[in-house]
Chains A and B, each alone.
Chain A
Amino acid sequence: MLVLLGIAVIAAGFLLRFNPLLVVAASALVTGLCAGIEPLHILAAFGKAFNDSRYVTVVYIVLPVIGLLERYGLQTRARALVTKLRGATTGRLLLGYLLLRQITAALGLTTIAGHPQTVRPLIAPMAEAAAPEGSDPERIRALTAATDNIGLFFGEDIFIAIGSILLMKGVLEGYGIRLEPLQLSVWAIPTAIAAFVIHGTRLLLFDRAARKATR
């Protein structure tokens, strides 16, 4: 029961706005000590898991290419491309990106897009360029990042070999329940459709609000 203090540390650290790195390290220490684990053993477990999860941080190797292309005007070209498209609006553009992201993620192609690879250099400048004069760029950029996340999260679980499906299969097997990945992934389809409808509606409503605000 005492180990629940570890969660309390995270919640308190959050509310008091401490740096999350410090909060996470403190929570690991408190949780481990409350469970009666030796401090050096906690340090070793933490270090091992950190080393085993290095693959998460690999994605930043795209930054040199993206940074270089931006210096030669990639964002400007992306904007110019959209202003030539008749009928392009922020909402319609992001709706198309949402659909594309969901479908490709459902095919297991989760790394072909993302915040460093596509959102910052391409999609965000396009979404801004498609908005009427005088729109708030901050809000459009936030909505673009949100659209990427929502498309990814509610597409990827349809793919049978994605991490979360394999995790569920593994956990259930531990309890003697054997399932095929496909049995799990078909249940991601209703929520994927709901996510497209809910977020898509918001995107189109954004267009209407933007037109009204700048008229």
Chain B
Amino acid sequence: MKKKIVWSTVLAFLFVTVGCASWVANNGTKQVASIVDYLYPNAKEAPQLKTGVTYLRPPVRVGIAFVPGGGWGAGLPETDKLKLLERVKAAFSKHPFIGAIEIIPTTYLQPKGGFTNLDQVARMFNVEVVALLSYDQVQFNDTNVFSVLYWTIVGAYIIHGDQYDIQTLVDASVFDVRTQKLLFRAPGTSQIKGSASMAGFSERARAARIEGYNNAVDDLIPQLQTELDSFKERIKSDATFKVENKAGYRGGGSLDWLGLVLACVLAVVSYAKRRSV
């Protein structure tokens, strides 16, 4: 009888410790917002590109937005999206050929809205070109050898027995709204690995996912800049693009080097007059 009680206790203990290891989901998570799903919903055949010349009239008004993700909890929070868009905006707002960059909240975009929705939003925000950001983030969760110490209960709070591997891709595609033509695109990627205790895993992983998006955008900005520069060169020789001046122009008051020389002359005259008096 005593032996049975001992064996029952051991079995119950093993059952509980095995249960500890299974409290954390090991399968990982995936967050996706696909530009194809947004622009070409239910497409059964290849999209027909509009032929003709794409006119670009600098300073171009640009809209920037994240494409809608796949349902509740399947993507970045809106506040984090706006922060990322602000960073992209700040990186490109100094170009003289970009008139203004409007941040378009994702709530203004309809999931699977297509170019019809894009056209509506472009008119609402008065933009000619829209940069759409799509993303794909995968998080792999694993346990390491230290997770065996979770059975101590205290270990679940202090031992980093769970680890994550988060891989993020953020892709920016720039479209001319009127002709629906893809002007250029650039990707940004990041990989973040880390570990956490079982109790703090959820919070640590969530912060790492946000950091993954931040790093991917950091990687995206210089690549987008490079693509923009090569696009500027490409349109010089591409007959399907034409750069036209808007009705009106931007003017700067600038006297240039001639003004500086003349100012020096005037200063010398004034100084000489003072000395002679």
Tell me, yes or no, whether A binds B: no
